[in-house]
Chain A
Amino acid sequence: MPPFIRQRLRGPRFVHAFVTVPGPRLVTSPLVDHAPLIARILEGDSRAYEELVRQYQHMVYTVCHRVLRNTEDAEEATQDSFVKAYQHLRGFTGASKFSTWLFSIAHRTAISHGRRRRTDGETVDELTQHPAAEGDSGSSHGELRRQLDLALNLLPADDASILSYFYLEDLSVEEIVTVTGLGASNVKVKLHRARKKLAEVMERQLGPEARALLLNDA
């Protein structure tokens, strides 16, 4: 693609150009997450991407589902996230973990899907029809996830997402900042409030005996 230049004035001192240049190359150091696999993909082996898809599919779907709370939209957002990640794979420099980078793509994709959906009319999964995974129906883990999802759906979507990133994906506050684009103090405050609210919701929803049983099961 020939380079194009679009000039715009940014204040009295600078003239900026928007230029397409070969961007930063992936450092194929063993310290970079999935470096050999990504190197193969960048060389043209798109089938190697399937390994990454299989590894991260459920995590990305969980991220999208937390934001969108709708199975079909979450599946669509998951597909879009992986396609975008593939498209922008050359932009992954290894500055963060691959999972953090992928989650940030998934989070933003889910949010833009949510905005589009709000103009069409919201649909949230009926929680009683929450799909159970294969082999999961009736199991204690499935029931646990259902109860947790019920509680998380009563929280705002960004609070539920932050809780998920912190407790399920084990991301640090700095990584959550990278994923969500929020400030560090904002993330800490939201985490603290969401934690308290989740505890209240679970207590109200489940009752103390059931909650104790749930925690013992966990």
Chain B
Amino acid sequence: MPEMNDNDLRKLFQAAGHAKPERDLTNRIMARVAVTRIAEPVVVAPLISKRAWVTIAIATGLFFLCALSLSGLGGTNPSFPWMDRLLDGVAQLKMPEGAWPQWTIGFSVLALFFALLGHYTERRMRKTAF
């Protein structure tokens, strides 16, 4: 009993050939194509690119470094009173009162929800784009 190997299968498929539709579909396809517009492809592009984020991070870091050096360590700088006010405000920041675990869990769940929503939306968009 002959075994079917790769070549046999290939010969079989090639000999059987393609299925042919009952009617010629060309005219029907062209009739639909005639009323169809070629769309511009959609590109998912970040509003703020990675390079922009790095620039923002570096600029923010430099700003705080300058602020710290100008305000002086443990002292005040009379030339930049707004810096003192800013640093005082930061020092006076308090954590919200209440039960910590609930706050942490709540915010984590919210962040996870948005991350999953974004991931799901992106997958859906990728599936529909060719």
Contact = CB atoms under 8 A, between A and B. Distances in A.
Contacts of B90: none
Contacts of A148: 12-13, 16
Interface residues of B, number: 55
Interface in A16-59: 16-24, 41-42, 46-47, 49-50, 53-54, 57-59
Given A8-B121, A195-B9, A61 B18 contact: yes
9 contacts: A23-B42, A78-B29, A88-B130, A89-B38, A91-B41, A104-B130, A134-B20, A136-B20, A145-B19
B102 interface: no
B99 interface: no
A183 B22 CA distance: 34
A53 B26 contact: yes
Interface string A152-173: 0000000000011001100000
A8 B25 CA distance: 42
Interface of A: 1, 5, 7-24, 41-42, 46-47, 49-50, 53-54, 57-59, 61-62, 65, 71, 74-75, 78-79, 82-91, 101, 104-105, 108, 131, 133-134, 136, 141, 144-145, 148-149, 163-164, 167-168, 195, 198-199, 202-203, 208, 211-212, 214-215, 217-218
Contacts of B13: 148, 163-164, 167-168
Contacts of A53: 25-26, 29-30
B14 to A, nearest CB: 7
B19 A12 contact: no
Given A61-B25, A202-B4, A46 B40 contact: no
A198 B10 CA distance: 12
Interface stretch (B58-66, B70-78, B80-88, B111-119): B111-119
Contact of A91 (B19, B48, B130): B130
Interface secondary structure of A, over-half rule: helix
B46 A75 contact: no
Contact of A141 (B16, B26, B121, B125): B16
Contacts, number: 193
Contact of A20 (B40, B117, B118): B40
Contacts of B43: 19, 21, 23-24
B15 A21 contact: no
A133 B20 contact: yes
A198 B40 contact: no
A82 B42 CA distance: 19
Interface string B87-126: 0000000000000000000000001001101110110010
Contact of B9 (A89, A145, A167): A167
Contacts of B12: 144, 148, 167, 214-215, 218
Contact of A145 (B1, B3, B16): B16
B24 to A, nearest CB: 8
A10 B14 contact: no
Interface centre among B11, B21, B42, by most chain A C-beta atoms within 10 angstroms, is B21
B119 to A, nearest CB: 7
B104 to A, nearest CB: 15
